[in-house]
Amino acid sequence: MKIAMIGDLHGNYVATLALEKALQRVQPDEIWFLGDAVGKGPQSRETCDWVRSHCTRFVGGNWDYGVGGREFAEDGYFWDQLGDERLAWLNGLPREMDAHISGVHFRLFHGRPVTPLMSVQADKDVLAAAFRANGVQYSGIIFADSHRPFVRTLHEGYAVNTGSVGNSLGVNRAHALIVEGEMGSAPAPLTMSILCVPYDNEAMAEIARRDAALPHADAFINEVLTGVYSR
Ligand SMILES: [Fe+2]
């Protein structure tokens, strides 16, 4: 079983289509979505629809709930673009899911609680809470949200980030996590790798430049072009 896990498309359909092309070579059996299809970029309708038509399992992200739930008035641009039906779908996404792969029990979510994992001196309590939830001690966590992909082994288990498709920080390619293993709780070999796909960043920036109504367009354009967080 080969699964591509993706997150943080953020309305960047140029990057999404580049990833789609790369995935045609990788040929995953399934694509799982780990949150943030929309917001930030000008093509949120396209990335939302792409996720719905290509993915088989779904977890919502903070932007999906913020936009989908009409939480912030400045997101009106995205409400208008997406329409009621998509907003309701985004707002109804599950908060997390789990999967047994090659004997590792993974908790999959889109979350800030593990942002300290970016640091070497991760908060022990935060780490423990990330691995223990719902009365279950997980042996791996897979999440998006930080827009930087990584695969780590910690004392608590595997900590894996999908990276971002459309709003990568650090290296501004489209990223996805490729997981290959046997579904189930029997121990078996497991491969976790990062797919890094170049795309036409300038083309994406130009689409954003031409959209006068896009909120915080300068920040999005700078992030697409440089990979430096700008907001
Ligand atoms: Fe995000």
Residues, CB within 5 angstroms of ligand 1 (ion): 8, 36
The per-residue pLDDT for range 180-217, each reduced to its tens digit, is 999 999 999 999 999 999 999 999 999 999 999 999 99
The per-residue pLDDT for range 119-176, each reduced to its tens digit, is 444 677 888 888 999 999 999 999 999 899 999 988 899 999 999 999 999 999 999 9
Q: Distance from the CA of 34 to the center of ligand 1, in angstroms?
A: 10
Tell me, yes or no, whether 131 lies in a domain.
no
Tell me, yes or no, whether 106 lies in a domain.
no
Q: Distance from the CA of 6 to the center of ligand 1, in angstroms?
A: 11
Tell me, yes or no, whether 87 lies in a domain.
yes
How many domains is the chain partitioned into structurally? Answer: 1
How far is CA 156 from each of CA 130, 139, 141, 187, rounded to the nearest angstrom? 9, 7, 10, 17
pLDDT at position 119: 45
The domain of 93 spans: 2-101+146-151+160-226
pLDDT at position 127: 81
Residue type, 170: G
Tell me, yes or no, whether 112 lies in a domain.
no
Tell me, yes or no, whether 119 lies in a domain.
no
The per-residue pLDDT for range 94-119, each reduced to its tens digit, is 999 999 999 999 999 997 655 544 44
Tell me, yes or no, whether 139 lies in a domain.
no
Tell me, yes or no, whether 216 lies in a domain.
yes
pLDDT at position 113: 56
Tell me, yes or no, whether 75 lies in a domain.
yes
Q: Is the dihedral of CA 162, 51, 86, 45 positive or negative?
A: positive
The domain that holds 179 is classified in CATH as 3.60.21.10
Q: Distance from the CA of 20 to the center of ligand 1, in angstroms?
A: 19
Q: Distance from the CA of 144 to the center of ligand 1, in angstroms?
A: 7
